[in-house]
């Protein structure tokens, strides 16, 4: 419904806001709804496979799910040095959920937005150019920050669980610079606390921006390819989609691995 390329790009990069006038505090309904649906798909598929799993003559879906579980379990065993029954399920959820979010970028650019426009016009009488629907949740910085902040809270929780409240608080003021005497510890406490906060906050920022940047760039390239003539779309879009499969998998894997590493460091004494 766009009159020119600029309007087309702007339309595809605009979120479906719960309250556009609320600005920062509005809810991106497209990001939330797609993320929720993908979470149910992941949980549903894995739950069905787990219930119907059999030792003899397993199906292809069971073998596929088992390969993912074994891959994640191996990474956790190699990287995480503590003892926890939560790390492997958490890592599996992160990898699969983010992969599904990233995979939405491989759908045709206009498929779901056009469907949203048809639903909005048919059932609600909304003008098509007023209906916005972005389909890649991981290209929304709010979603990636929400996931990375959840990882940060897990880091704090695992640190307190492993070291206790007193031990974790003490570490905030005594590491990374150590001193023997009381006076030295007091003098280094502000610097230690500042560096600890920088380290703690840098983790979610790096996690979120890395994922967001890669997926936003991929989404933008697909939008630009969609502006080309039909023949060029296939000529350029197919190779980029094949290459993008590597990117969406790698980004999910990197987010999972860094989460495992951060949680492993959280339970270790400095």
Give long-range contacts, CB 8 A cutoff, 24+ apart: 151-157: 151/203, 151/204, 151/207, 151/259, 151/262, 152/200, 152/201, 152/203, 152/204, 154/90, 154/259, 154/263, 155/200, 155/203, 155/262, 155/263, 155/266, 156/200, 156/266
* CA pair distance 84, 91, nearest whole angstrom: 12
Exactly one of 102, 159, 192, 214 is catalytic; name it: 214
> Is 192 tagged catalytic?
no
Token duo for residue 103 = 């995979």
Q: What is the pLDDT of residue 178?
A: 85
Note the pLDDT tens digit of each residue in 175-201: 888 888 888 888 999 999 999 999 999
Read off the pLDDT of each residue in 91-114 and give the average, rounded to a whole number: 96
Overall residue count recorded for the chain in this entry: 270
What is the rounded distance in angstroms from the CA atom of residue 113 to the CA atom of residue 213? 22
* H-only helix segments in 175-229: 182-226
CA–CA dist 8, 21 (Å, integer): 22
pLDDT at 103: 97
Q: Is position 134 annotated as part of the catalytic site?
A: no
* Residue 214: active-site member: yes
Least confident of 88-102, 137-151, 172-186, 209-223: 172-186
Q: Could you give the CA distance from residue 250 to residue 95 in angstroms, rounded to a whole number?
A: 10
**What rounded mean pLDDT belongs to the chain?**
92
Compute the distance between CA of residue 213 and CA of residue 144 in angstroms, rounded to an integer: 10
Of the candidates 237, 251, 155, the residue with the CA atom closest to the CA atom of residue 207: 251
The count of C-alpha atoms lying within 13 angstroms of the C-alpha of 96, restricted to the half-sphere facing its C-beta, is 23
Percent over 70 (pLDDT), the chain: 97
138 — pLDDT class (breaks 50, 70, 90): very high
State the Cα–Cα distance between residues 38 and 96, nearest whole angstrom.
9
Q: Hey, is 82 helix, strand or coil?
A: coil
Q: What phi and psi, each to the nearest 5 degrees, are found at residue 4?
A: -150, 175
Is a pLDDT exceeding 80 seen at residue 3? no
Q: Given the residues 77, 206, 208, 264, select the one marked as catalytic.
A: 206
Evaluate whether 68 touches 96 at the Cβ level (below 8 Å). Answer: yes
Average pLDDT over residues 130-144: 94
Nearest residue to 223 via CA among 4, 5, 50, 17:
5
Q: Which of 26, 161, 210, 264 is catalytic?
A: 210
Structure confidence by residue, pLDDT tens digits, 48-89: 999 999 888 889 999 999 999 999 999 999 999 878 889 999
């Amino acid at each position: 419904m766009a009159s020119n390329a600029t309007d087309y790009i702007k339309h595809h990069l605009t979120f479906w806001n719960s309250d556009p006038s609320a600005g920062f505090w509005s809810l991106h309904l497209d990001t939330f709804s797609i993320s929720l649906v993908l979470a149910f798909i992941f949980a549903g598929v894995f739950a069905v496979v787990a219930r119907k799993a059999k030792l003899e003559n397993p199906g292809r879906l069971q073998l596929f799910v088992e390969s993912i579980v074994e891959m994640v379990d191996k990474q956790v065993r190699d990287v995480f040095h503590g003892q926890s029954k939560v790390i492997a399920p958490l890592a599996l959820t992160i990898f699969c959920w983010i992969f599904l979010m990233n995979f939405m970028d491989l759908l045709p650019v206009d498929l779901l937005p056009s469907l949203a426009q048809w639903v909005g016009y048919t059932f609600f009488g909304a003008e098509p150019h007023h209906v916005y629907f972005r389909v890649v949740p991981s290209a929304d910085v709010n979603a990636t920050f929400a996931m990375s902040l959840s990882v940060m809270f897990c880091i704090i929780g695992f640190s307190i669980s492993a070291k206790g409240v007193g031990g974790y608080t003490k570490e905030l003021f005594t590491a990374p610079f150590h001193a023997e005497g009381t006076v030295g510890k007091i003098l280094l406490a502000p610097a230690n606390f500042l560096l600890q906060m920088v380290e703690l906050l840098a983790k979610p920022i790096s996690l979120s921006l890395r994922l967001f940047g890669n997926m936003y760039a991929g989404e933008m390239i697909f939008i630009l390819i969609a502006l080309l003539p039909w023949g060029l779309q296939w000529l350029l879009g197919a190779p980029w989609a094949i290459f993008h499969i590597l990117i969406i998998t790698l980004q999910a894997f990197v987010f999972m691995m860094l989460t495992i590493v951060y949680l492993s460091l959280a339970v270790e004494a400095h």
